C-alpha cells in the first residue's frame, strides 16, 4: 500500500518518490517532504515546529498543505470564504482521515472550520507508476445558510527549503504557442493565468521547477499541471523565509461561488511529480500518465488524416472534397476530415455557427454521399464543429438571442464575428447534445475536430441561478458535460481539441479529446519550436501535425514530412497543387510513418537538441521495450563554416547491440549513447533514421 499512516501523519509513496505531510505541534496540517523515496517510512522528517518572527506568526511561517485565509497569513492562501454573517476568515482544523484503496489509492483528509458548519476535504491520489500525486479539494456547506467561496484552489505544492529555484513554463499567442521560458524565482509572487474562459494560447497550467542546475537529462525537477480548461491561476511564491510554493486552481479573478446549504464544490485536479532525471524524465512521466490514465483512447494508434482547411477553406462541397479524398486515399491517408464550411449558411466566417446541419446548397443530399465516397475509398470520415459558438447571423441566434454570454446593457462584442453560447445553461447544453448527437447518429463519422475560435467578453449571465460569476466554472462544466455525453453515446469517435490552434490544451480537455491541434501555424520551422514546447507536457500521440504548403518555397516536402512525423501525422496541403512526383513522395513518407508510428505515438521521447535554442536540433523516440527507436534531426539556417556537433542517442539498453540506419557497424547501446554519431545536413535539410536492436 503506497499510503502509510505514521506517528506524525502520512507518507505517500510512488515508485521512486515520496510525499509526506502531518500535523504539527499546533495541530496544523503541514507539509514535510517531497522528493526521492527513502528506504524506511520513518526516514521522512516530522512536521516542522511552529516558528515565530516579529510581524510573522506561525500562520505565515508554517508550510501548510492547504492554507485558508485567516490569522496573520499573508502568503497566497488556497481558500478564501465569506460566511453568511459577513465573516471573511476561515479557520480550518484537522478532523479525520480515511484511506480509500483502488487503482490509484487515495488519502482523504477532512478539515472543519472551528466555528462554522463548513468542511473541506483534501484528496490525495497516488499514481505510483508515473510518480505523480493528484490533489483536489471538496468543500461542503454543512449549515443552513449559503456562503460565498471567493477562492478555492486545488493544491499548494511546497518545494524543499531553498532559494535558488528556477521556474520553467510556456508562453505564446495565436500562431506562436509554446515558447519555453526559464527564469529564476525570486522573492514575491509570479502569476501565470488565464482570464479568457479557456486555457489560452498565452500560458499553460504547467510548471517545472529545478534548482537552477537541471537539464534535459539530469537534475531534480518538480513538475505539475492543473487539469482545467477554463480560467486558471498558477501562483509561484517565494518568501523571505526560504519557502517556495506553487499553488494552482480555478482563477479567483472575478470568481465567486454561492455555496448553498448542503451543497459541495469540487475543484479540478492538480497532478504533480518529482524526478531526479531532468526535464526529459519529467516529460516522460507526464506522457505516460496522460496516455495511461487521462486519454480516452490513450493506446489506440491514431490514423493518418487529411484535413481540407488549408486547401479549400470555406469552399467545401461534395465535388471538391471527393477530389481531395481520392488523391488522399491514393497516398495512403486513412481518415478524411472536412473542416469548416459544410453547415447551414456557412460561406465565410460571418454566418452559420450554431446551425449544425449540412448546407442545403453545398450538400443537397446531406453528407451521406460524400461519406460513402470516402468510405468506399477505404478511409474514415471526420468533421469540424465549433459547438460553443454562434454567429448573430444564424437561425439559432435569431431564435435564442438570450442564450449567449452577455450583459443586457452592454454591446455584445464579437470576435471573428461570433458570440459565445452560455454553456452554463442546461437548455443550451441540451440543444448542443441534441444537434451533435443527431449528426453523429445519422452519419458514419468517426472523428470530430471541436474548435473554439474566440475568447470571452462581457461575461454576464443575467438570469443565473446563483452568482453570475459562477459562469466561469459552469460554462466549462457545461462543455465537459456536452462533450462527455457525446463521448458516452459515441464511444468510438476520436475527438480533437482545437481553439484557433493550441488555445485549449490541458489535461482537463484530454479526458474528452484524444488529440490537440497544436497551432494554426503549420510552417515547419516554426512548428519545430512549437512542437518542442508542447512535448514538455503532452505525448506525441496527442500532437496532431499536418504537412501543409506553408513555407514550401524554402522547405522541401521531406523536411515538412519529417517535422509532422514527430507527432500524429496529418496532411493539410492542397493536393491538387501537388505534382504527381510529390504525391508519390508523400506516399513513401506515409508508408514509413505507418511502420514507425507505434514508436512515436507510444514510445519514450528524448529531446536531444532543442530547436528553441539550436538551429541544428534532434529528437528521438524509443519503444518501451527498447528494441527500436527513431531519430529525427533538423538543420534550419546556420552560417558557414559550421561543424555539426555529434548526436548522442538516449534511452537505449546499454548492453544490447543496435544498428542505426545510414551508419555501418553494430554497436552497443552504450556506444551509441556515449560515443555519439555524426550527421551531415545542409541548411533546411532533415533526416530520419531508424534504430534497431539486433
User: Closer to ligand GLA at the Cβ: 499 or 623?
Assistant: 499
Smallest separation, CB 307 to ligand GLA (Å): 7
Residue 159 C-alpha cell reads as 518545494
Residue 640 C-alpha cell reads as 558557414
Using CB under 6 A as the binding rule, the residues of this chain from 371 to 400 that contact ligand GLA are 384
Whether the Cβ atoms of residue 589 and residue 558 lie closer than 8 Å to each other = yes
Report the chain's C-alpha Rg in angstroms. Answer: 26
User: Closer to ligand GLA at the Cβ: 265 or 517?
Assistant: 517
x/- map, 652-691, ligand GLA, by CB under 6 A: ----------------------------------------
Per CB under 6 A, 176 contacts ligand GLA: no
At residue 234, φ and ψ (nearest 5 deg) are -125, 125
Distance CA 50, CA 670 (A): 50
User: Closer to ligand GLA at the Cβ: 570 or 629?
Assistant: 570
The residue number with the shortest CB distance to ligand GLA is 340
Smallest separation, CB 501 to ligand GLA (Å): 5
Nearest by Cα to 571 from 301, 175, 305: 305
Per CB under 6 A, 309 contacts ligand GLA: yes
> Which class for 201: exposed (0-12), middle (13-18), buried (19 or more C-beta within 10 A)?
buried
The strand pairing partners of 630, in sequence order, are 621, 690
* Cis peptide preceding 641, ω within 30 of 0: yes
User: Cα dihedral angle (142, 119, 223, 234), rounded to 10 degrees?
Assistant: 60
Q: Which residue has the cell 505544492?
A: 157
Residue from 131, 339, 355, 549 that binds ligand GLA (CB under 6 A)?
339
Using CB under 6 A as the binding rule, the residues of this chain from 497 to 536 that contact ligand GLA are 498, 500-501, 517, 520
332's torsion region: left (phi>0), alpha (psi -120 to 50) or beta? left
Distance CA 13, CA 452 (A): 40
Helix 471-489 with 426-442: angle, nearest 10 deg: 20
User: Closer to ligand GLA at the Cβ: 311 or 482?
Assistant: 311
User: Closer to ligand GLA at the Cβ: 521 or 687?
Assistant: 521
User: Closer to ligand GLA at the Cβ: 517 or 634?
Assistant: 517
Distance CA 154, CA 31 (A): 15
Residues with active-site annotation = 451, 520
The strand pairing partners of 109, in sequence order, are 97, 122
Whether the Cβ atoms of residue 340 and residue 572 lie closer than 8 Å to each other = no
Total interface residues for ligand GLA by CB under 6 A:
11
The strand pairing partners of 11, in sequence order, are 4, 20
Residue from 451, 514, 532, 544 that binds ligand GLA (CB under 6 A)?
451
Using CB under 6 A as the binding rule, the residues of this chain from 588 to 607 that contact ligand GLA are none
Smallest separation, CB 250 to ligand GLA (Å): 26
CA 91, 94, 96, 99 dihedral sign is positive
Long-range CB pairs of 581-585 (<8 Å, 24+ gap) are: 582/557, 583/327, 583/330, 583/331, 585/557, 585/558
Q: Which stretch binds ligand GLA (CB under 6 A): 91-99, 494-502, 537-545, 597-605?
A: 494-502
Site for ligand GLA, rule CB under 6 A = 309, 339-340, 384, 451, 453, 498, 500-501, 517, 520
Amino acid at each position: 500500500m503506497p499510503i502509510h499512516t505514521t506517528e506524525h501523519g502520512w507518507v505517500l509513496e510512488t515508485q521512486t518518490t515520496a510525499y509526506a505531510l502531518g500535523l504539527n505541534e499546533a495541530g496544523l496540517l503541514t507539509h514535510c517532504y517531497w522528493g526521492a523515496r527513502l528506504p524506511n517510512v520513518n526516514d521522512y522528517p516530522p512536521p516542522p515546529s511552529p516558528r515565530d518572527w516579529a510581524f510573522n506568526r506561525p500562520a505565515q511561517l508554517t508550510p501548510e498543505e492547504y492554507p485558508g485565509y485567516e490569522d496573520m497569513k499573508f502568503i497566497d492562501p488556497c481558500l478564501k470564504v465569506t460566511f453568511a454573517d459577513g465573516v471573511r476568515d476561515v479557520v480550518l482544523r484537522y478532523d479525520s482521515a480515511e484511506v480509500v484503496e483502488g487503482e490509484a489509492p487515495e488519502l482523504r483528509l477532512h478539515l472543519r472550520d472551528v466555528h462554522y458548519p463548513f468542511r473541506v476535504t483534501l484528496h490525495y491520489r497516488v499514481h505510483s507508476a508515473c510518480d505523480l500525486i493528484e490533489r483536489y479539494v471538496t468543500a461542503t456547506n454543512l449549515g443552513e445558510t449559503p456562503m460565498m467561496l471567493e477562492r478555492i484552489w486545488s493544491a499548494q505544492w511546497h518545494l524543499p527549503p531553498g532559494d535558488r529555484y528556477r521556474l520553467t513554463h510556456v508562453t505564446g499567442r495565436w500562431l506562436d504557442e509554446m515558447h519555453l521560458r526559464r527564469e529564476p524565482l525570486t522573492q514575491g509572487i509570479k502569476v501565470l493565468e488565464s482570464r479568457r474562459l479557456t486555457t489560452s494560447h498565452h500560458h499553460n497550467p504547467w510548471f517545472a521547477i529545478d534548482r537552477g542546475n537541471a537539464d534535459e537529462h539530469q537534475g531534480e525537477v518538480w513538475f505539475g499541471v492543473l487539469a482545467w480548461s477554463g480560467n486558471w491561476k498558477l501562483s509561484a511564491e517565494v518568501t523571505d523565509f526560504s519557502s517556495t510554493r506553487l499553488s494552482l486552481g480555478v482563477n479567483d479573478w472575478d470568481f465567486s461561488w454561492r455555496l448553498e446549504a448542503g451543497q459541495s464544490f469540487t475543484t479540478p485536479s492538480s497532478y504533480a511529480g518529482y524526478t531526479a532525471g531532468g526535464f526529459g524524465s519529467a516529460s516522460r512521466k507526464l506522457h505516460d500518465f496522460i496516455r495511461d490514465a487521462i486519454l480516452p483512447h490513450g493506446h489506440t494508434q491514431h490514423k493518418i488524416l487529411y484535413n481540407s482547411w488549408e486547401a479549400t477553406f470555406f469552399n467545401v462541397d461534395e465535388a471538391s472534397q471527393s477530389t481531395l479524398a481520392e488523391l488522399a486515399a491514393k497516398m495512403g491517408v486513412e481518415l478524411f476530415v472536412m473542416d469548416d464550411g459544410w453547415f447551414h449558411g456557412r460561406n465565410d466566417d460571418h454566418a452559420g455557427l450554431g446551425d449544425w446541419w449540412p448546407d442545403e446548397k453545398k450538400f443537397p443530399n446531406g453528407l451521406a454521399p460524400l461519406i460513402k465516397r470516402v468510405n468506399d475509398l477505404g478511409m474514415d470520415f471526420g468533421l469540424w464543429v465549433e459547438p460553443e459558438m454562434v454567429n448573430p447571423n444564424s437561425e439559432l441566434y435569431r431564435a435564442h438571442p438570450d442564450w449567449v454570454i452577455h450583459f443586457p446593457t452592454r454591446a455584445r462584442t464579437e470576435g471573428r464575428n461570433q458570440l459565445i453560447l452560455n454553456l452554463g445553461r442546461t437548455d443550451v447544453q441540451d440543444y448542443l447534445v441534441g444537434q451533435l448527437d443527431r449528426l453523429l447518429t445519422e452519419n458514419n463519422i468517426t472523428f470530430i475536430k471541436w474548435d473554439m475560435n474566440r475568447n470571452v467578453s462581457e461575461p454576464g449571465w443575467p438570469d443565473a441561478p446563483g452568482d453570475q460569476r459562477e459562469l466561469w466554472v459552469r460554462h466549462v462544466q457545461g462543455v465537459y458535460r456536452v462533450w462527455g455525453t457525446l463521448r458516452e453515446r459515441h464511444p468510438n469517435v476520436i475527438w480533437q481539441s482545437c481553439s484557433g490552434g493550441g488555445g485549449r490544451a490541458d489535461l482537463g480537455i484530454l479526458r474528452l479529446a484524444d488529440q490537440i491541434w497544436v497551432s494554426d501555424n503549420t510552417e515547419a520551422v516554426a512548428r519545430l519550436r512549437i512542437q518542442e514546447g508542447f512535448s514538455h507536457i503532452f505525448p506525441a500521440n496527442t500532437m496532431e501535425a499536418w504537412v501543409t504548403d506553408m513555407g514550401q518555397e524554402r522547405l522541401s516536402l521531406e523536411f515538412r514530412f519529417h517535422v509532422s512525423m514527430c507527432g500524429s501525422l496529418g496532411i493539410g496541403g492542397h493536393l491538387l497543387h501537388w505534382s504527381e512526383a510529390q504525391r508519390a513522395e508523400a506516399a513513401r513518407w506515409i508508408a514509413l510513418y505507418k511502420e514507425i508510428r507505434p514508436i512515436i505515438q507510444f514510445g519514450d521521447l528524448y529531446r536531444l537538441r532543442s530547436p528553441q535554442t539550436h538551429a541544428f536540433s534532434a529528437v528521438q523516440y524509443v519503444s518501451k521495450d527498447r528494441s527500436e527507436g527513431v531519430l529525427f534531426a533538423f538543420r534550419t539556417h546556420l552560417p558557414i563554416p559550421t561543424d555539426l556537433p555529434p548526436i548522442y542517442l538516449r534511452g537505449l539498453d546499454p548492453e544490447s547491440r543496435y544498428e542505426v540506419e545510414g551508419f555501418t557497424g553494430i554497436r552497443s547501446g552504450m556506444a551509441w549513447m556515449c560515443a555519439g554519431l555524426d550527421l551531415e545536413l545542409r541548411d533546411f535539410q532533415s533526416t530520419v533514421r531508424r534504430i534497431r536492436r539486433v
